[in-house]
Structure 1
Amino acid sequence: MTSLAPVASCEVTACAFNDGACRADAVTISGSTGSPTCGTFIALDVRGGLPTAEGHVGACQRLECVHNTDLMCTAEAVTVGGDTANCLTYSQE
């Protein structure tokens, strides 16, 4: 693995890091087994993060995901969506 998996899209408009797309430098995928969520999600009335939308997955805590190798996401890209900021690219082994 030579680069971090990009966040291809994030539909969670309530997140302070979403300003048309994910503007966090790196997100962590966390949550419980079978329910992977973006651990970087934060609901605030302000927008923050990078000036451009270039979010990536910095770490993945979902060991059972087929895209997880050594706590890093190996998917080509991830999509985050739903009311609770779910990782929609997650696929259980």
Structure 2
Amino acid sequence: MPALATVTSCSTTACSYNTDGCTAFAITVGGASGAASCGTFVALDARGGLPTADSHVGACQRLECRHNNDLMCTAEAITVGGDNAACELYEAS
């Protein structure tokens, strides 16, 4: 099995999985209309996830991204940012 892309940073402070980094076990990159965003984003009045920030990209639904191979992210690492939880490495092929 190939290595999963690491989420090295997340600056989306409204996400309940962001506690000094992404604490979800794995995220899904989704989005629409040529934009890639974190589909795991959830805004709640609670924090959750792993005790430390050690997240990976479990799946990528952006077929047109040059880092997508068989719905898996082939990048070594990604960053997530902005209010819309954008995948900042997304690049249409």
Please tell me the TM-score bracket, short chain as reference.
over 0.9
Supply the AA of the counterpart residue of 1:76.
Answer: E
* 4+ residue runs over 2 A deviation: none
Which residue number corresponds to residue 59 of structure 1?
Answer: 59
Aligned residues: CA RMSD:
0.9
1:38-49 alignment, distance < 5 Å:
38-49=38-49
Query: TM-score scaled to structure 1, two decimals?
Result: 0.97
Quote the sequence identity (%): 62
Query: TM-score scaled to structure 2, two decimals?
Result: 0.97
Which residue number corresponds to residue 13 of structure 1?
Answer: 13
SS of the equivalent of 2:43 reads coil
SS of the equivalent of 1:32 reads coil
Separation (CA, whole Å) in 2 of partners of 1:33 and 1:74: 21
Which residue number corresponds to residue 2 of structure 1?
Answer: 2
Residues 28 and 60 in structure 1, CA contact (< 8 A), matched pair in contact too: yes
Gaps of 5+ in 1: none
Residues 33 and 62 in structure 1, CA contact (< 8 A), matched pair in contact too: no
SS of the equivalent of 2:63 reads coil
Gaps of 5+ in 2: none
Which residue number corresponds to residue 85 of structure 1?
Answer: 85
SS of the equivalent of 2:3 reads coil
